Structures are given as structure tokens and as C-alpha cells.
């Protein structure tokens, strides 16, 4: 089978490595790819959001399956366009990807189908939003841009001034563009956060091993939010009892709700959960694999990933026995100094050969490129150094040991990934 992966981060590298292990997959392609993915897949110089370009390439080169990994092409309807040409895909159609593409849609869905989520109101202009926040007068308060915003569309305002600044910057300064035409103002919840990715073909729901993301740039969860600075799996807070509850109260009701709305979801549905004192709540849905959650979850998958993708496309996921290693994994993100604000690229990365020889370590490339035969930094998040161990402690020790062998100018990484406090 010839498979094309759309996207070029650490998540796509993890998907590519798993697909490569499938005896069914003979050729892998990736657009636009990166220096790490290039080692196992043929790079295709087409942008991940270029629907026509991807369809054209897939047709001309007879791809047997296209895996659309990032949110924007999914929300833009890349899967619909590929299916119209008879090309097999992994990922939801645009109508179902709306579960991530619009917070207003997903909040209204949860309300309508009684899926636990923070209480909220929707606003279409800044004045009404601010009037409401003033009247409510409870802080912190959470303000969310409706549309996609590179994972940065959420503002947690500690007081009225911050809330007003937040509403103005989203709705008037349009810092997230059209994504800020509507905002959701919601109740602030507390509790440990859990990410659960789930395979679903709209009939069967198979949750993967749970994980924990660390979104802030600094140790002790300080500083601005990032795309994710490290992950562990499984999530120590996610007990079997909690998993059972989430399946009954959240996962299955979400699948049923999407079917009722005429938007059957096929692909990987990501549940961003918070385990509040009142029970598990949905903080957000994503219509895709998480990044860097995928880098810790997929290494624990024992079942052939291509077989799973194929079964989802054909809506026979119930036939597949999805199995997991009874181990733990940890991923430490090495980022460019300055990220998530301004940072420099083009820095040579050393130590990758040493680490390649280490057992149980995989270095997923996120923002890398090849320059004059050398691997250099090419993004904010550069590498995801991942280890599998018998338990979390072992996985973390191994991942940090490997990080110590890798160097580039101004590299930044968190020293406290997997530290469970909260």
C-alpha cells in the first residue's frame, strides 16, 4: 500500500513510524515533511492546507490511503475532496471536523446532549461579552475564540482588566483573525487534565491509552501556553473507574450526538478532559491526533495502525482487537530559545547519532530541516525525545538521559515533565 501523510510535525513523524511497521505499507509519502520524516518517507513539496495539490498528487501517484493529520486541512474539507475522487482517507470530513473548528458548535452540542462541560455563553460583539463578564463578576473567567487559533485561542483572565483586554484583542484587534468573530465566555474549572485520543468509525469507540500534556513553556506550569512541551502516558490520574465513567458519560454520548446531528465522526477524536470535583468535564474536542500526545501514545500500540485506519474507513472497527503494551512512555520537547514568542532557526543539532543508538528512545522531529547535509532547527518546537519504560519513572529517566546528549544553540526544555502535582 502507498500511503501519504499530510502534515509535518512530531505527531506526523510518530504516525509515519507506526505505519512503517505495518507489513501492508510498502511506500510512505509525506507533505510537506521534515528532516526526520524524510528518513522513512518520500517528501512531497505540497503545503498541508493545499487541498487541490494533495488531491492532485494522491491521484497522479495512486495513493492507496491519505492520512490527514492536522486540524486546518480537516476543517477545510480535505477528506471530503479526497473521498470525492474515490481516495481512501483517515480523518473526519469537514462537517465532523467542526467539533474542533468551532467552539460555539462544540459547546452547543454538549449542552444539547447533556455532555458535561463548563457553563458558558456565546457572544457576537465585544460590548455584550464585557457586559456579561462585569455582571457575572467571577474570576478567573475563561474566554475562547470560536475558531482555530493554533491552540492559542484561550484566555484565562484573572480580573476584569485582563478579561476586557482579552475580549478586545480577540473580537476587535482580531489577533486570531476570523476565528474571533464569536467568543465563548465560560466558567473556570479546576482539576487534573487528561487527554484521551480515541479511534472511532462512528459506530464503535476505542479509546487509546490516556496521556497528560504540559502546555506551559516553563517549569511548574509557568509562562505562556505552547503547542505542548512534553507528555506522559498513561495519565496517572486516569483510573479504570474514571475511564469507565468517561466512556459512559462522554465518549459514547459524543459519538451518538454527532450521528444525530448528521455529522458522523470517523478518525481520531481527541477528548481534552478535566477531572473536576464534580466529575469529568470536557474542556475541548480536537478532530485529530494530539501533538505531542501521539508521540507517547502510539509507541505503546501493539496492533497494526494501517489495519486500524483501514477498518475505520470501512466502518468495521468493531472487528479489530486494539492492543496496548503494559508500559509507560514519556516525551520531552526540545524547543528553540524564545518559543512561543520570537526565536531563531537554522541552528545545527548535534548528538542525534548517539541517541539513535540508544534502545527504547525515539526522537520525533517537529521543526527540523536538512541544510548542507546537516540537520538544523526549523521551528519553535524542534524535537520530541521519547522513551518507553516499564513504568513512568523509568521512561522519564531514559528520556531525560537522551535529552542530555542532544545539543543546539539556545535549546529550551522543561525539566519537570511527568511531575504529578496539581
List contacts with ligand AMP (CB under 6 A). 118, 142, 151, 154, 156, 186-189, 193, 215, 272, 283-284
Instruction: Supply the DSSP string of 342-384, one letter for each residue.
Output: -----PBPB-HHHHHTSTTEEEEESSEEEETTEEEE-SSEEEE
Helix (H) or strand (E) holding 406: none
Cβ 135 to ligand GLY shortest distance, Å: 32
Residue placing its CB nearer to ligand AMP in the complex, 42 or 276:
276
Q: Is the peptide bond before 393 cis (omega within 30 degrees of 0)?
A: no
Residue 39 DSSP code: G
Q: Please state at what angle helix 305-313 crosses helix 10-20, rounded to 10 degrees.
A: 100
Residue of the chain from 228, 230, 234, 264 that contacts ligand GLY (CB under 6 A): 228
Bridge-based pairing state of the strands 183-186 and 374-377:
unpaired
Q: Is the peptide bond before 138 cis (omega within 30 degrees of 0)?
A: no
351 binds, among ligand AMP, ligand GLY, none (CB under 5 to 8 A by kind): none
What residues does 199 pair with on adjacent strands?
Answer: 206, 268
Cβ 76 to ligand GLY shortest distance, Å: 17
Residue placing its CB nearer to ligand AMP in the complex, 223 or 272:
272
- The pattern of x and - marking residues 325 through 364 that bind ligand GLY according to CB under 6 A reads ----------------------------------------
Instruction: State the CB neighbour count (10 A cutoff) for residue 135.
Output: 7
- Point out the residue whose Cβ comes nearest to ligand AMP: 284
Residue 103 DSSP code: H
Residue identified by cell 474542556 is 283
Residue placing its CB nearer to ligand AMP in the complex, 189 or 209:
189
Residue of the chain from 186, 261, 291, 304 that contacts ligand GLY (CB under 6 A): 291
201 is an interface residue for ligand GLY by CB under 6 A = no
75 and 98 in contact (C-beta within 8 Å)? yes
Torsions phi, psi for 124 (to 5 deg): -110, -5
Cβ 152 to ligand AMP shortest distance, Å: 7
Cβ 204 to ligand GLY shortest distance, Å: 23
Interface with ligand GLY (CB under 6 A): 151, 213, 228, 286, 290-291, 293
Amino acid at each position: 500500500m502507498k500511503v501519504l501523510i499530510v502534515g509535518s510535525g512530531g505527531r506526523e513523524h510518530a504516525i509515519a513510524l507506526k505505519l512503517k511497521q505495518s507489513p501492508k505499507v510498502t511506500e510512505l509519502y509525506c507533505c510537506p515533511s521534515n528532516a526526520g520524516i524524510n528518513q522513512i518517507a518520500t517528501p512531497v513539496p505540497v503545503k498541508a492546507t493545499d487541498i487541490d495539490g494533495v488531491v492532485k498528487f494522491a491521484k497522479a501517484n495512486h495513493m492507496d490511503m491519505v492520512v490527514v493529520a492536522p486540524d486546518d486541512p480537516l476543517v477545510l474539507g480535505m477528506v471530503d475532496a479526497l473521498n470525492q475522487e474515490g481516495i481512501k482517507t483517515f480523518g473526519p470530513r469537514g462537517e465532523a471536523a467542526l467539533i474542533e473548528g468551532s467552539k460555539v458548535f462544540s459547546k452547543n452540542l454538549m449542552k444539547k446532549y447533556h455532555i458535561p462541560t463548563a457553563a458558558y455563553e456565546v457572544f457576537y460583539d465585544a460590548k455584550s461579552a464585557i457586559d456579561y463578564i462585569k455582571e457575572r463578576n467571577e474570576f478567573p473567567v475563561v474566554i475562547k475564540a470560536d475558531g482555530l487559533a493554533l491552540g492559542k485561542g484561550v484566555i484565562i483572565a484573572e480580573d476584569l482588566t485582563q478579561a476586557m483586554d482579552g475580549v478586545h484583542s480577540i473580537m476587535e484587534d482580531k489577533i486570531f483573525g476570523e476565528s474571533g468573530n464569536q467568543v465563548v465566555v465560560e466558567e473556570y474549572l479546576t482539576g487534573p487534565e487528561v487527554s484521551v485520543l480515541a479511534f472511532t468509525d462512528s459506530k464503535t469507540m476505542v479509546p487509546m491509552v490516556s496521556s497528560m500534556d504540559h502546555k506551559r513553556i516553563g517549569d511548574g506550569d509557568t509562562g505562556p501556553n505552547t503547542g505542548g512541551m512534553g507528555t506522559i502516558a498513561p495519565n496517572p490520574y486516569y483510573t479504570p473507574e474514571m475511564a469507565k465513567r468517561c466512556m459512559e458519560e462522554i465518549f459514547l454520548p459524543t459519538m451518538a450526538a454527532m450521528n444525530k446531528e448528521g455529522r458522523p465522526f470517523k478518525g481520531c477524536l481527541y477528548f481534552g478532559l478535566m477531572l473536576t470535583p464534580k466529575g469529568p468535564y470536557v474542556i475541548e474536542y480536537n478532530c485529530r491526533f494530539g501533538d505531542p500526545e501521539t508521540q507517547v501514545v502510539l509507541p505503546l500500540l501493539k496492533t497494526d495502525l494501517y489495519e486500524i485506519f483501514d477498518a475505520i474507513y470501512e466502518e468495521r472497527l468493531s472487528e479489530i482487537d486494539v492492543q496496548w503494551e503494559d508500559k509507560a512512555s514519556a516525551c520531552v520537547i526540545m524547543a528553540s530559545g524564545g518559543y512561543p514568542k520570537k526565536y531563531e532557526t537554522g541552528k545545527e543539532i548535534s548528538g542525534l547519532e548517539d541517541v539513535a543508538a540508544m534502545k527504547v528512545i525515539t526522537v520525533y522531529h517537529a521543526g527540523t530541516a536538512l541544510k548542507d547535509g546537516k540537520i538544523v532547527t526549523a521551528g519553535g518546537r524542534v524535537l520530541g525525545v521519547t522513551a518507553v519504560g516499564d513504568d513512568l519513572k523509568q521512561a522519564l529517566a531514559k528520556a531525560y538521559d537522551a535529552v542530555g546528549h542532544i545539543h543546539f544553540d539556545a535549546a529550551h526544555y522543561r525539566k519537570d515533565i511527568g511531575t504529578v502535582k496539581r
